[in-house]
Structures are given as structure tokens and as C-alpha cells.
Structure 1
Amino acid sequence: MSLGNNVDICFGEALDSLTELSWQLHESINLVEMSNIAVRKTRDILGCDRVLIYQFLPQEDGAVIAESVDLAWSSILENFGKGGSVTSDRLIWRKHVEAHLMGAFSTIEDTEDTQALTLEPEYADWLSEMQVRANLVMPITTRSPSSPNLFGLLILHQCDRPRHWQTQEISLVKNIATQLGMAIRNADISTRNQIESALQESEARQRAILEAIPDLLLRVGRDGSCLDSMISPSIDANQFVVIGQHLSELLSPECLERQLQAIERAIATNQLQVYRQQLIKFGKLASEEVRISAINDREALVIVRDITSEVDSEQRLEQISYNVPGFIYQYHLRTDGSSHFPYASHGIRDIYDLSPQEVSQDAAKVFDRIHPEDLDYVRQSVINSAQNLTVWGCEYRVRFDDGRTIWVAGNATPQREPDGSILWHGYIKEITQRKQAEIVLKEEQTKLQEAYSEQNALFAAMKDVVLIRNSEGKCLKIVPTNGNNLLGNPEAILRQSIYEELPPSVAKTIVEAIDHSLSTQQIISFDYPLAINGRDVWFSAIISPIAEDKVIQVARDITERKQAEIALAEAKEAAEALTKAKSDFLANMSHEIRTPMNGVIGMAELLASTPLTEDQLDYVQTIQDSGNILLAVINDILDFSKIEAGKLELEERPFLLKDAVKSAFNILSTEAANQANILKYAIATDVPAMIVGDQARVHQILINLIGNAIKFTQKGEVELLVKGLRSPQSSNQILFSIRDTGIGISSDRLSRLFQPFSQADASISRKYGGTGLGLAICKYLVKFMGGKIWVDSKGSIAGEPPIGWQCATTPETSGAIFYFTIDLPNMNSEAIATANIALDAANQNLSCMAELFPLKILIVEDNEVNQKIASLYLKRFGYIADIANNGVEALEMVYQQNYDLLFMDMQMPEMDGLTATRLIRQDGNISLQPQIVAMTANVMPEDIQNCLAVGMNDHISKPIRVEEIARTLNRLQIKNQVATAIKS
């Protein structure tokens, strides 16, 4: 709920304040005191600028009797004099006066809203004089048994701004006015008696006696006949003559039966009978309290009091209590030591799991709920509060029948009753979360203390130097450690500045690190050398902020590590040089071998197409097979070299998995036929048709594994199965399995698989050939794709199967099953659409796209080859692009005509792409700002960020691909149109 100056106040907190205000009002009998309490608390609760109470006077217009005002605004009491007469038309809008007299409230949300309001001049002038922008006027009525009496008005002013008075705010003010009216009525009786006693003591005494008479007092016979009566002066006796009548003539059957039973119990037990009843009086539902006491064994005294107002107030209080955490209560400690709760709000169910009715006569069940370990403490706190009449406050545990335990906190104010008993008014709320937080905090404090002790012990065992320095670098403290022997004279260090303590270069480095650490509140680490006892000692330092102007420096002797790092760096440099030399040699060897091999294989293929004898054809086929084997060996060696050097990179492109599988089968079909093997494959429906990855490498793995299966199988079957795989250890993956019916692999030879230059045994190499690199390369490729590879043969498994993988073969099973998995990256709808466009673009005429969706395109590129490639790609979509050789030319062309799209290189002579883009974006004279897409070989994350920072819309890396062009068009929000154009 928004109260006051746009401050969000919890409604529960406002209700707590309202409850406290109610108690304070009813505890006071002084009109001025309770009025001041009311205006002060109201302003606090509602957060307004001024609250005042205006009292209507019998012979005057009225007077302001109390005011609470913010120091920033004028005081009405100071302007007109405390208690001075103020005409109502200065405080109240005249059109609302009659409504106020009838008990209605009024609000003004903005006094300066002349269109919505037509205020009387005097009222408007007064509002302006008092700087009132919004107000809320609530009648204060003091209800008597006969009719409400308008005491005055509770007026709220908002001076700094207009204000919309919310329903909850109005309800709160209404409750405050009701509580104030009830308190004034109760206090008025006492005050009026005191005043009139000074004037006419006897008359006042008589009036007090008359006013103390309840609504109805009857002397009733045991049979229900009315023997005598006394009626409150507020009731017309002519309307209620009961003497000589029977109760049956006055009460409904239900009320009659209950009253006769109560009369009988009162006479029989000689105990007071008290109950409440509801009935229709003068056409309205009324509540009455009936008290019956025995006069003798034949008669009883029946006292009937109208408590409709009290019941209404109790109901309102009960409604309020629904929004108050915990419960509000009255706790009564009788003189005989027994106790009960005369009033308890519904929240007692949450605290004690008891209803208000269960504790209304006896509080024993409440004490039964208190945790046994806390019971004595709670009882003693109640006794102390009763003996000293001090505020009771206590925190304890409550245990429920189901074993749950909660923490609660209570607070109550005691008062001594005329009979010597004690009555507390208070509340109890749950604090379990707070207590749990306190327990956690205490545990954390204990842990902190333990950590401090451990830290001291750790410092004592450390061989590091630990220093506390200020922001200027001066050493303030040397923490005792085993490494202090490296310091020299500790006392001298504490006296010196850092530039006296250390060499200037080292001191400067440490001071800069301290400044950086304190300004960023980050830990800074660095290394530095020192000459100690004639030798160079390297230290690794960590600077960590511990206060606004202090840091802790931990310095560790890393001389041995530095020496090892230097040796390692030299060894690494030598190894890298050797690796580079090997890679260069292999690349050169590949080039030198491929050139003549291309001639050999090419000529062999040409020769095979000419008429040959059977022997000649066999010779040619031998040449072709040998050439292909040699080429495969070279490719394996080059791939493995790339893997060793860490230079093998995988592409991430969408492709059709089925195409990769079919291609592998087509290549190997001839070899399978030569071995009299049957090739089969199946792809499960849960495998996406299109996936993202490196199609060539997937194809290479399939060729290798299926080729091995064919090689080791004679007159058998080789089958490839592809399906989706889900497991707790992985994301979505694809599982490939290649099963053959060949010779299989014995368990003692499985462990040698997947190792470089290794086969099951030497005889295999002699019989079947191969370098022994194929499976090792497959292993690395699968790993790079996020998967694993393993084999199942003769009842054993080797490789890296998933956890819990079950063996599918037995020692008697022929053949082997090779498995591998690859990650299946998610493809969103945009990626799929772009991929489809790119795939279709490779085979379809896209020239119609430019006709349907014309775009003016400029390519900004200094390299002629790149210009040509980009132009040709765009031409496939039907676009003829303009060319600018650098940023300067691009600016001139953009100024001369409007472009929809610019492809911008980053590095160009005269003006780079970043500068050109920045100038285009900053120029307000360019009527149509184009979409600008970076087209560059700079592909690091910081490069992409720099492009976006100057105003580019997207980034395309070189080499340029047609699908990237398609994605750019999609970013121009023509994805659906492009798809339509492709289909057409």
C-alpha cells in the first residue's frame, strides 16, 4: 500500500501501529492527550504532511484542538491560536458539511484541479494559504446507545503534491476515527463528571447514576414473569413496558429458552450467568450482553446491555487482526492463580494450533504447547511482569502435536484490575526464520573464530612472508611466519618507507599493485626478483585489500619454480620448433608426393577406360588400389600431425546426416562387393535430419570404421545403426554403431586399440595393411565432437563406454561392434531456416529474390578478390552491389544516395571500417541509416564487440559463405519472404 511520499509501507506494519494507537487512546482519559496521540500517530502511519482534529463547539463554529505538522509546512494552531475558533468553511468544503454531519468522509486529490473541483472562494483561499494540495476529512463520532454524536473531524493534509487516497488508506483513517471516537466517549464521561462535580456535585452524582444504568434491568421470577424493571433514559419507556408481562411476550422462542435456562442455572448454582445474544430491535440486528444473578430461590436479576457498537468494533478489530502477523490478545491472570484469554484473534491458530474458544476460559492448553525446556522460563517471566507491572517480553519455542517446533516472540503491557487480578494487552508472532538466522549467524561466528585460529596456525606454519601495508606501501605489521628469515631486520623495515626498504623498481611495482587493488577491491598478483645474500631470489606476491587504506601482501620464494619454468620454456620452445619442422616437412612431403600421385592415379583411371586385356586391367586396378592406399596413409599422417600440434579445427555447419552416411556407403560399396559383404544402414526417427557439425570429419570416421569392418569380414554383413542417445552424463547425443560378422577381436588384444601406430597384432598389419593411425584419429575426432568411442567384441569392451553400458557380445559371438557418439547441438528455428536457405541456395536460382525484395547494397572492401566473391554471392540472390574501396569512398557514396545494407570490412587503407561506421551513425544528415554488417577476417570476441560498439548490426567472418549472406537477409526481417522466393 502506498502511504505518504510514495513510500511503500507494509500494510501489516500499519495495522500494528493502528493496534498500538488503539491501546494508547483507550488507556488515556485526557482529551488533549489522546488527541495529540491520534494526530501524531496518524501522520506517522499515513505519511502525510499535516493532521489535525477539529472539534465542533456548541455555541461556536469550532476549534482546532490538536495538530501534527511536518516542519516544512505552516502550523494552523500557530496561525490561529491553540483552541481558537475557526469557521468551518475555512476547514471544510461547504458542499461536504451535510455529509460530514451524517457521518460520511470526503477526499480531495488535487486542490489545483479546477476542472474537477469548484471550491468556495474562502475555502480555496484558505487551502492555498495553508499550502494544501490534497486532503481527507473523516468524521469523529462518539456513539451512544441511542444515536451517533458528531464530535468533530479528523483532517489529513498533503501539502507537497496531489495524492490519490487509496481504499486501504481511507479504511485505516476510518478505523482511527472510530477508535478515537470510542476513546473520547469513554473519556468524556469521566471528564464531564469531573467538570460538573465542581459545579454541581449532587446533580452530577445523580446524572452519573442514571447514565450507569444499563439499557434494561429486570427482576424476573423463576417462571419467567417480569416483576420489576428499570430502563435506561435513552430508551422510550412507553415502547417497552414489561412489568407484569412474561418473557415469552418479549423474546423469540430461541432467546426465551436460553434465558429461562440461564435463570434456572443462576438460581440453582447461585453463580453469575453471562452470555450474548443477537435479535432484531427496531428493525435492525442488535447484539446484547445478558447477565443473570440469583436474588433468592424464586427470583433473579436480569441485566441487559446493548453491545452492538462493541461487537461491531470487535469485528472490525478481528478483521484488522487477520492482516497482522501472529495474534493479538488479552491475557487475564486471576487472583486464584488461574488464567485465561478473554480475547484472542484468529491468529492464535497459527501460533498454538488452538482456537480462541479453547482458551477463553482456561489458558492451560497454551502452556501445554510451550516447549518443556522453555516452560519454567516463560512462567517466571509472567510472574515478574505481574509483580512489577512491567512490560512482558519473551521469546520461546512452541511444540505441536505433530512434532513441529516454532519460535515465537511475545510482548504485552500489564494493568491491575479492581479485583487485584492482572490483565495484559499484547501480541505474539512467529520468529522461526529470525531465530534460524540467528543460529546460523552464531554458527558462522563460531566458524569465523575457528577460521581465525586456523589462520594463525597456518601463518605460523607458512614459509611465506606476510606483511600488512598501507596505501603508500609502508609496512605496518609483519605477520609471524617461518619465512621471515628472508626479511633481514624486521624492526628496520617497520621504520622505513617502501622506497627505503626495497629497490626503486620493485617498490614502484608494489605501490602500483596496492593502488590498483584498493581502487578495484581485487586481488593483484605479480612476480618480482630481489638480490638477497648475493643471489637472485624470485618472489610471487599477492596483494589483497583488507581495509579502505590497507592491504595484505603475501610473498613466496619461487626461485626454484622460476628456474624450472625457464627450463620448461626452453624445452617447450625446442619442442615447438621440432614440431613445426616436422609439420613443415610433412606438408612439403604431402605436396611433393600428391603431385606425382595425382598423375599416377589420374593416368591409371584414364588407362582403365581404354580397351585392355584381363591381365592389363588387373595391373591397372593394382596401380589404382596402391595409389589410393598410399594417399590414405599420407592423409592419416597429416591428420595425426595436426592433432599432435593442436591445429586440427572442426567446422560448425548444418548438414544432412543421411547424405554423409550415403556418401560413405557409396565409396565403400565396391570394396564390400569384392569381399562379398552385405552393407546395410538404418537411421532412427529420433535423429534430426539436419545437424550442425563438421560433415567431412563425420564422413571420415564412418569411412574408417565401416572400412575396417569390411576389411575384417569375408562373405558376411556390415550394418550401421544411428539413433538418439540420452543419458544423465550427457546432453542430447547421436549414437553410431557399426556391427560386422567378421573375425572379431580377442579380449587380450582390445587394449591396444585406439593407440597411435597400433593394431591388434603385427599379423594384422602384414595381412590387411594400414598404418595403425585410423582408430587413434577417430578417437580424437570423436572427442573434439563431444563424444566417446568404444568397441564390444568377444564379450569384452575397450575404449570409453558410457557408465553402466552393457556388453552385447559373448566369447562365442562373431565379429565386433564399434560405437561412437557425438554431441547434438540445439538448432533454433532461425538457424534451421537460415540453414535451409543456404542448402537450397546451392541448387536453386535465387535471382528472383531481388525482384521481390529490392535492396540497395554497398560492399566496402579493399581486396579485389573479396569484392568479386561478395558480389558474385549477392548476384546469386539477384542483387547488383556497388563497390567502395575504403571508408572514405563509402562515406561519399552514402552521402550521395540511400543504401539499405552495407557490408563493411574493418581493415582498409585511408579509413577503416570502424571509423567509417562511427561517422555514418553520428551524421544526422543521412536521411536513411542503413544496416551495416561487418565482413572481416577479424573474428576474435573483442573484434565483434568493437563492431557492435560503433553501431554495426551484425558480423560475418571471412571466408564468406553464401549461408552467411542468407542469415544477414534474415536479420533484415525478410526470412519468410526469402523462403517464399526460394520455393517459387
Structure 2
Amino acid sequence: MSEALTGWVNALGRLPAALADALRRVGNRAALSLQQQRLADFAMASGDWLWETDESGRLVWLSSADQSRAGVSAPWVLGQTMDDERILDAAGEPVVPPQSLQQLLQRRGPFERVITLCDTPRGRLYVSHSAVCRYESDRWCGYRGTARNVSSAVLGQRERQAAASVLHKLAGQIPGLLFQFRMHADGRIELPYASERIREIFEFDPEDVVRDASGVIDRVHPEDTPRVLAAIAQSASDMTVWQQTFRVVLPVRGERMLSGRSKPERLDDGSVLWHGVITDVTQQMHEAQRVRALARERDAANRAAALRSEIMSRVSHELRTPLNAILGFAQLIERNRGDDAPASAVTSAMQIQRAGKHLLSLINDMLDLASLEAKGFDGGLRPLRIAPLVERCVALMAPHAQLQQVSLSMVLAASLPAVSADLRALKQVLFNLIGNAIKFSSAGSMVEIEVGMDDDPEWVIVAVLDHGPGIPADRLPSLFQPFTRLINKGVRKEGTGLGLAISQRLAHAMGGRIDVGSQLGEGSVFTLRLRTSSEAAQPTGETAFDELDAAPTRPRLAGTVLYIEDEPINALLMQQFCAAFPGLHLTVATSGGEGLRVARELAPDLVLLDMNLPDMDGHQVLQALRADAATAGIAVVALSADALEDHARAARDAGFDDYWTKPIDFALVEQGLADRLGRGRS
């Protein structure tokens, strides 16, 4: 066979293989084309863009370059590089440190989910990029990647972060821990959310308890742990609100008291999620304990003060009963003495009165102090002009000063404002301060009273200065304590030791105070400070201060008086007093029942009624008198050894026409009878 023929034969032999190889290449190209088409269809169906760059970063292929097929154009153009946008985080904020897309591409390494903000035909969109490197013969040739519109996800993340920020700010303003507590079906516990307060409440960082909250339970006080866990189990069982107050033991702050409340929610996986708040109530609990302790102390003090007041009232009543006879008969001796009465008898009567009045003063001071301690000050503050009151006090104290051979000096500042005070209390304080200054001044010295403004314009001061022996410094702190009395050169001055204590309490009750300064051998100054009032001063009306004027002419009394009194000596005393008035007829009844009968038969002009009778008290007698038409219009005056002001007020409120205290002051009795039975004066 020739060589040509042989060549043709060989060629024909290779032809099937060549044809097969060609067919394989055609099939591969068709399969590749089909694969590419499928990938492009998948990309368009998923909403992603597929892209490819060369080694220079220019786009050489885009899956959605044909807008008619894709429905939307890609945000880039073939043959150009991608826009150099800043890389953003999941919330659309620039990453730190700042980085751009082109900087990332120039690194020639794979990346995923890199977000940028791109300009597209639909506006600016948040786009997420992912890419792998493309190699040919081990040579880097560019990127193949995807891009997806993640605008909805970014905006959603922004909204979630904004909501979280608002929650964080609100939680920071709440004085407690906001939390979510989750208990899984297998018993695991966690705190999916805990506000920053957890660092203070439980001394944990929020991230430390997100997956495991067992450490929080471990810090509950061992004695309280069973109760807290039982309450959690009960809440999970019946879906009721969990509410507990319990103790925790913290590494730094030690034992604290917490109070928590949360509402449970059962989730689809069988776990229970509580939403609630826990606050530190340690200070409130301590404060509540302190308030309860103070309340107990206050109640105990009030009970003790009330008991002292009651005891003082009873003691006063028992002391006043015999004192009524002593002072009463001494007054009658002095009132009825004739010109030929022995001087010794007159002197004895005066000494009896003097000693009795001193004892009565002590009783009255003790009652005043007991009343202030038990009930406090019950006066009414109002704007008063201070200057006329001081002038009146000084004028009334002048005779007493003359007897002690002491002169009084008074200086009043001009244009003084009104002070906020109670008239009766202020008079009592002024009398006490001026009287003490006179008492402790030596003969021939002067007591100075100055009224003016304090350095602070909110205060008016009344300073009472004496030139006596002074007060030792160690005695000053106790000067305003009850029964504190001073001794000068071994001579004890007459007094109860209660005046300054009462005066200081009255000053405090009026919103002021009394200060004292003293120098041994030079004298002392007591300064009353009273708050000024912006209101106009009110008229004080009658400002007489129980002054001891000369006895007025005796009134002419006429009428019938019924005296209901079970104590014979008191009845005898009143009979002897009334005997001095020929027109006055006194009838005595010794019990309440007898008094009611005599009142109906006699129809007296006036009934004098003792408040403590053997068969009924004075209020019951008064009620019976008012209930009977025959006696309802008779004037009734209460007589009692009980000198407490609230008892006297209660008697007047109950319907008594007046209230006279024992020991009887016959000058006041005479005036009271004259007001009701008087017919001029003789």
C-alpha cells in the first residue's frame, strides 16, 4: 500500500475520535452555557446581582446587565470599577476604623457581607457584597461575587437599635433593675435582658448573666433562697405575678434588701419568661424601721407625758382642796377685819396668804409645764405690736421693782414690725423674764429692757439685762430645765424653778427662742427672739395682766344662790363670804340629786356647781338642769380644783356660764357675782 493510501487510512481511523472529541467540546460548551444561564436565572430570581471583575478591578460581567430580562439595572456599569463607597455596619453606620470598598478590593482576598450605600435607579440602597478570588493558571485574575439589596434589613436594624437606645435611656432613669428572667424546661435559667442597674443591684455585668443566671440566685441570702425559689416555681406553675422582698449578700456592698415584681409569659418551647423590675429598698427599710422606732418612742413619750399630766392634775386637785380653805379663810380674815383687829392677827393672815399664794404658784407652774409636755402649745399665733405689750408689762412690774429697790429702764426702737405670737403666752414670758431680773438684782441697781431688731431682719428681740451677780458658766446649759434654781452667795431666792423652763417652751411654740449670756459679778442678759410678721398687727383688746390694784368699792349683791358642794369646809367658806352681802341668800346642797331638787323648788338666780360630787359629776348635773324647763334658764358656774385649761374649755363648751378654779379668789368671785347679781356699788 502506498504511503498516501496509508495516510488516508490512518486519518480515517482517527476521524471517529476527532469527531467524538469535537462533539464532547460542543456538548461541554452547551452544558457550560446552560449552567451559566441557570446561575443567571437563579440570581435574578433571588434578587441578587452576580458580578465579575478583571485583575484591574473593572467589571467584565454582570448578571443583570440586561434590564429587560432582570427587571432592574445593576448599580454598576460594565467596563468600569465599582463606586468607592464607605463600608458600613449592619445599622448603616461607618465602620471603625473607616474603610472603603476599593480599599477592600485592592487586598485581593475573599470577603463576605460587606455593606455599602450605592446609587441605583431606585435611589440609594444598602447593598451587601460577598466575593471570592478568580485564578487562571495560579494567577490572580479578579473577583467573582454577589451583591444583594439589604436596605430593609439595615433600616430594621436601625429601628431596633433606636428602640434599644430609648429603652436604655429609660432604664437608666428608673431606680431599679429592669430584667427578663427565663427558665427553660430543663431547669436552666438566664437573663436575656438586664439593664445597667444590675451592676449595682447584684454586682454583675449584664453580659455575664445572659446565658447563665445561676450566679444571681447564688447571691440571694441563704435564709431567703428557699422562699424566693418556691415563689418562682409557683409563678411558673399558675402564671401569677412573682413578687418578693428578700436579702442578697454582695461581694462589695454586703447585705442589701431588694424588692422585686415580675409577670410571667409561657413561650412556645415550654420555657417561662418573666418581665419585671427589682429595686434596692435597703434605705427605705432602714428608714421605715427608724420611723417605727421613733413612733414607738414618741408614743411612749406621749403616754408618759399624758400620765404626768394626769398625775399632776390629780395632785393639783388634791392640793387645791385644802388650799382653798387656807387661802379662803385668810382672805376673809383680811377682808372682814375691823379697825380694832390685833396687828398680830392681820400679820398672820397676810403671812398665811403669802405662803398659800406661793404654794399655788408652784402648783400652777407645775400644771403649765405638764400641759405643755403632754399636749404642746394650743395657742393661736397672730401679728401683735410688741412695743405696747412691753410697756404695759414694765408699768405693771414697776411697783414690784420699787419694793426690791430696783429701777426699770426701757428703750424701744422706732418703727418695729409686728411679731408672730400668742398674746397670753407672750405676756407670761415677758413677766417671767422681767420678774427674774428684778428678783436677782441687788438693791440700788437697774434692770434694762431693750426692744429692737436683730441683725437678721426676720427677728425682733426683747433683751432684759440685770446687774446682778451673774450665772456660773457650768449652770447655763441646765438653766432652762425644770426645777433649776440658782443660789446667790448662799441665799436661795424664792421661786419654783419652773418659770424659765415654761418660758423657753412657750417661746419655741411661738417659733422663737430665749438666749442667755452672763458674766459673774456683772450680770446676765436674757434675750427673747420672735419672728416678724408681714401682716398688719391685730388689736390686742384687753391687756390687763392680773395687776394688784387697790380693792374697789364693794358691790351691792342681791339674789338667791344655790351652791352644790359636798365638802363642808368649802360650803362654810362660801357661806361666810356671802354673809358680807345682806341682799345675797346662799343655799347649800351636798349632792347632785339634792341640788337638782332644790333648784326646781327654789328657782335660784345662780347655781355654783362643784364638779366632783359623790353621786354624779358636774356635767351630769348641768345636763339635767338644762333638760328641765323649770331650770333650763338658770346661770350655772362650775367650781373645781382642776385648773387644767382644756378642762375649763370643755366645761364652757358643754354649756357652763363660767369656770372658777379653787382655791377661790374672792376678788374674782365678787366680780363674777356682781356681773350677774350686782345692783351698783356701795
Same fold (TM over 0.5): no
Scaled by the length of structure 2, what TM-score is found? 0.40
Q: Which one has the largest radius of gyration?
A: 2
Scaled by the length of structure 1, what TM-score is found? 0.29
